Amino acid sequence: MRLGIGGCVAALLAAGLVAAPATAAASVSVSAGSGPQYDFAGAIRETVWVDTGRDGDGDGQPDRVAADIVRPAETAKAGAKIPVIMDASPYYSSVGRGNETEFKTYDDQGRPVGFPLYYDNYFVPRGYAVVLVDLAGTNRSTGCVDVGGESDVNSAKRVIDWLNGRATGYGAKTGGGTVTADWTSGAVGMIGKSYDGTIANGVAATGVDGLKTIVPISAISSWYDYYRSDGAAFGFDPAELAATVEARNGGQDCSAENGKLVEGATANGDYGPFWAERDYVAKAKNVRASVFISHGVNDLNVRTINFGQWWDALAANGVQRKIWLSQTGHVDPFDYRRAEWVETLHRWFDHYLMGIDNGIEKDPMATVERQPDQWADQATYPAKDASQTTLHLQPGNTPGVGTLGTDAASGTTSFTDNAKVGEVGWAANPSAMSPNRVLYSTGELASPVQVSGTSSITVTATPSTSSARLSAMLVDYGPATIRNFSARGEGITTGSQETCWGGNAPGDDACYKVTTANTTKVDYTVLSRGWADLANYQSLSQESPLTPGQPYTMTFRLASTDHVIPAGHRLALIVGGTDVDVITPPAQTPKVTLDLAKTSVLIPLSGALPAHPQAGGLPAGPLAHVSRRAAVDLR
């Protein structure tokens, strides 16, 4: 069922949305912005194949990537130069795009008909062109994917070059006459979720001229941090993803390229040349585009260290930026805050691609979901008054259970790795001794405390065997209602009604199912996680043999977040060995002893912790929680 004008819920009306039937366009009020004035059904739809200058599939011919284009016919007749919104993806014929799994479609002559997502429906009537690029080796492009490497990034970069007259486009996959983009201003904004947003990050890191802004949604900033964490491996590899997205690529032989993926992504978790090629954070100094990030703080697919380290690197380079953080998992903001997202995105593109002075660059930098559907603007991210605070592990009366405070301590504590236990087992019964983890917590908070930014932990650990894994997590102990990010939908429920967002054409409508928050009640919330291989204590580039009984000091990162711990709750640090749901175990699972005087956690905190925390006060027995589920695809 599609919502008619009288069927909108109050929240959508308050946000400026008029939900329209299938034949009309939803309108969002945008101050001094581009309005719907062009006929979407009569828009020009075409495909251009752009020469990438590479021969990834080894067939002796330069690879060509397919760029499917939809643009208003009226602007072409008037000779107007218009900007481009681009989504470069490997998924248009393999796993689909969006919450409703849309694929590209074509007519019997191969002309593009169906463009996934709402970008074309909404923005083409407002004077934009929308260009959807098939990465090399996928859908109608030749060549091979290389999972975030030169081929992937170059696929989109060369289309931007073509839009700016620096590359050659053709009217056919092979042969064909040359085609120029004389209809565009050359200003490009890239957008996309997951793999698509990752490519936007990678292209921005090249500094390509013409790319004015990117909107990476739940995107990777360093592929190492998708597949590895400080030396620890997550148990899945790039070659698997390549095989998935190349499944319908027209028969190219990509076995040689896929072999390079297997060889480069070493199983031991070391950071080497393969990962350096796919590390956009290291190249952030090249970014000239503005950046609007969206990420779920409970995203267990593209973990949040990816947005945190990218954000910090962009900040160091003075890049204009904005961020939305939701309580969801791997979810597009169109599917958890639709009206506000479309309005904000419209203003963002209008400003950075059309040069419209609408003031969006002066809006609060960050917008954070504090509780399901309850949002707060924040002047900066991390929060302006959040300061890096060192907390120490202090022993209590129960072995392996103590307090977390600002005073240094002495002594040791230990746990035995058990590769069959992980986060849920460690967090349960927080007042009790556990053989497989140690747990240290603050006293009950007298006032709220905010964790805003990226934390890290430094351990001095002595393993009983020659190999060891370490896991750590920050936990908010106390009752809460949260988005059920581990359920199907990762925090949203998809209904049957639809709202429509732009113009319609045969085979390409603008209507999408309404979603609502899927919530659950819990007794604790994990707000940050991190993993490491102790053998990488000296360097991530090469692990070092461990001598049983010898202490080693290592610092590793915990995931980026923005989370308010309410008064009456407690903040806890849990340290264990192999996290069964996430990392691969060592050859021999050791007993690990921590030197408390040389072990601490560094947390960006705003607010006061108890001056003299007392052990105890945590709940005993099983606790309500959200069970994690494996998430290893990049949709």
Whether 371 and 409 map to the same domain: the answer is no
With H, G, I as helix, E, B as strand and everything else as coil, classify residue 144.
coil
Whether 560 and 444 map to the same domain: the answer is yes
Q: Compute the average pLDDT of residues 378-382.
A: 98
Give the per-residue pLDDT at 616. 63
Q: Compute the average pLDDT of residues 221-244.
A: 95
Q: Compute the average pLDDT of residues 538-553.
A: 96
The alpha carbon dihedral of 221, 222, 226, 232 has a sign of negative
* pLDDT over 80 at 630, yes or no: no
* pLDDT over 90 at 446, yes or no: yes
- DSSP per-residue codes, 27-77: B---TT-----S-STT-EEEEEEEE-S--TT-SSS--EEEEEEEE-HHHHH
Give the per-residue pLDDT at 396. 93
Q: Work out the number of other CB atoms within 10 angstroms of the CB of residue 62.
A: 14
Which among 161, 299, 335, 508 is annotated as catalytic? 299
With respect to residue 560, please indicate whether it lies within any of the assigned structural domains. yes
User: Which CA distances in Å does 329 have to 483, 489, 509?
Assistant: 9, 8, 27
| Alpha carbons 176 and 155: distance in angstroms, whole number | 19
Whether 328 and 266 map to the same domain: the answer is yes
Digit-coded pLDDT (tens) for 602-620: 999 999 998 777 766 777 6
Whether 258 and 144 map to the same domain: the answer is yes
Domain end (from 378, 396, 417)? 378
Q: Compute the average pLDDT of residues 199-228.
A: 98
Give the per-residue pLDDT at 384. 95
Whole-number average pLDDT of the chain: 92
Digit-coded pLDDT (tens) for 123-133: 999 999 999 99
- DSSP per-residue codes, 146-158: -SSSHHHHHHHHH
* pLDDT over 70 at 14, yes or no: no
Domain end (from 326, 346, 378)? 378
- Confidence class for position 26, pLDDT limits 50, 70, 90: very low
Give the per-residue pLDDT at 6. 29
Number of separate domains in the chain: 2
247 CB burial (10 A radius; 0-12, 13-18, 19+): exposed
* pLDDT over 80 at 158, yes or no: yes
Which among 34, 185, 194, 455 is annotated as catalytic? 194
With respect to residue 630, please indicate whether it lies within any of the assigned structural domains. no
With respect to residue 512, please indicate whether it lies within any of the assigned structural domains. no
With respect to residue 625, please indicate whether it lies within any of the assigned structural domains. no
The 3-state DSSP composition of the chain as helix, strand, coil percent (nearest 5) reads 20, 35, 45
Percent of the chain whose predicted confidence (pLDDT) is above 70: 91
Digit-coded pLDDT (tens) for 319-341: 999 999 999 999 999 999 999 99
Q: Compute the average pLDDT of residues 555-583.
A: 97
* pLDDT over 60 at 2, yes or no: no
**pLDDT: is 621 or 194 the higher one?**
194
Digit-coded pLDDT (tens) for 46-75: 999 999 999 999 999 999 999 999 999 999
Give the per-residue pLDDT at 30. 41
Whether 345 and 403 map to the same domain: the answer is no
CA angle 113, 118, 119 (to 5 degrees): 90
| Alpha carbons 328 and 367: distance in angstroms, whole number | 14
299 belongs to the catalytic site: yes
Give the per-residue pLDDT at 635. 67
With respect to residue 20, please indicate whether it lies within any of the assigned structural domains. no
Q: Compute the average pLDDT of residues 106-117.
A: 97
* pLDDT over 60 at 7, yes or no: no
Whether 274 and 195 map to the same domain: the answer is yes
CA angle 126, 128, 133 (to 5 degrees): 140
Q: Where are the alpha helices (DSSP H) in 234-293?
A: 238-245, 255-264, 273-277
Whether 327 and 457 map to the same domain: the answer is no
Whether 98 and 146 map to the same domain: the answer is yes
Q: Where are the alpha helices (DSSP H) in 492-619?
A: none
Q: How many residues make up the chain in this entry?
A: 635
Q: What domain range is 226 assigned to?
A: 31-378
* pLDDT over 60 at 593, yes or no: yes
* pLDDT over 90 at 31, yes or no: no
* pLDDT over 70 at 596, yes or no: yes
414 belongs to the catalytic site: no
| Alpha carbons 134 and 104: distance in angstroms, whole number | 10
Give the CATH number of the domain where residue 530 resides: 2.60.120.260
Digit-coded pLDDT (tens) for 577-590: 999 999 999 999 99
| Alpha carbons 297 and 382: distance in angstroms, whole number | 13
Give the per-residue pLDDT at 438. 98
- Confidence class for position 527, pLDDT limits 50, 70, 90: very high
330 belongs to the catalytic site: yes
The b/e string for 122-137 (b: 16+ C-beta within 10 A; e otherwise) is bbbbbbbbbbbbbbbb
Digit-coded pLDDT (tens) for 249-259: 656 889 999 99
Domain end (from 320, 352, 378)? 378
Which among 295, 330, 351, 569 is annotated as catalytic? 330
Helix-helix angle 150-163:195-204, to 10 degrees: 70
Q: Which of 324-328, 390-394, 611-615, 630-634 has the lowest mean pLDDT?
A: 630-634
- What backbone torsions phi and psi does residue 39 show, to the nearest 5 degrees? -80, 115
Give the per-residue pLDDT at 619. 73
Whether 436 and 344 map to the same domain: the answer is no
Q: Compute the average pLDDT of residues 272-285.
A: 98
Chain-centre distance for alpha carbon 389: 26
* pLDDT over 80 at 27, yes or no: no
